[in-house]
Structure 1
Amino acid sequence: MTTTTERKAPDFMQIVAREKLGEKAKDWQIFRWERIGDGNDFVVGFGQTRLKTSGKNKGETTWRGIDGRQLPHGKVVVTGAEMDAARAKYETDTGHCGECGGTGQAWCGWSAAEGTKYRTCHRCNGTGKAQGDRSLEQL
């Protein structure tokens, strides 16, 4: 296991959800997701954000307005097949591995003592290059 601050792989759940919600969601962020069905599909909650301007959490992101009401938001269903298709498109378009984003290092955990932890990507064996038609279920 290696601790590093390298760039992350794309968030395919977020990419698919943004495509489905369209232009209104270009600046929105995910505030919630829930697994549904067989566990490969998700209901994703997206919403407009703002930064808190006072108090102990000043500068942190919130999905609530100053009056306490939730800012504009929406929900969308994202399937595992849609995320797999987005990963395949990313790999075809960039030539980078969809698991590690081309870094060769995949996320494997987080701890308060060590922060984010990465390991050698099992999908590309640390090369960072796309490996053709290998689904995550085959690994």
Structure 2
Amino acid sequence: MRAGMGIGEWFRRLNYERLFFILHRLTAIYLVLYIFPRPYLVLLYGSWEEALKLDMTPIGKILAAIFVFSILFHGINGLRLVLIELGIIKGWPVRDPISPRPALRASAAHKLLIALTVIGTIIGSALGIYLVAYGAETWP
């Protein structure tokens, strides 16, 4: 593998780890692009209430729903990555060098955490999208 392949390296061998890597990077970019222009919108429109009118449009609600998904996925996947880095969840080496399998097998805890990442992101995003679309007043 040569250095400096750029974004093309993200898609070289697509598996769930690489997919999570791509989504982690994309959600980070979206979070930065969604959060940092907010103060400038307030300055542009003159007041916070005027700036929030953009969020009440259908496009604003879609962007807010994507924001909820992004923050949930990025946070849960970040926790999974911290646990991998700390060695709490890890794989073990495959001993057969001829077989074209991945270098590490996923442990049961790693598979469970991946499932929890996906399920937590789906449930949290669905709840967040509901609250964004219908407002917190309708929440029981």
TM-score by length of 1: 0.29
Higher percent of residues as strand: 1
Higher percent of residues as helix: 2
TM-score by length of 2: 0.29
